[in-house]
Amino acid sequence: VLARLIGVDEPEIDHWSSQNLQYPAGRVISTWCNSTSPPPTVAQLYFLLSTNQLNRLDLARHIETMYRI
């Protein structure tokens, strides 16, 4: 879901899924950071984690404890 939210193409997502990656979110975030200029901010990641589509408030809270959002 994160990959779709940041705009990764479906064929790329399908390719990653077929690879059974150990850290798929790491691949998504790495791709996101390398494909946009300027790179995404911690605040943007926090926002995506907090969306209804992801609903990962637990991870968003961890970011809140480490960074000023």
Residue 44 CA to its chain's centroid (Å): 9
Longest dimension (CA), the chain: 37
pLDDT for residue 69: 83
Place 4 in a pLDDT band, splitting at 50, 70 and 90: very high
Q: Work out the average pLDDT over 7-28.
A: 94
pLDDT in tens, 19-69: 999 999 999 999 999 998 999 999 999 999 999 999 999 999 999 999 988
- Are 42 and 63 in contact by the 8 Å Cβ rule? The answer is yes
**Domain-by-domain residue ranges, the chain?**
2-66
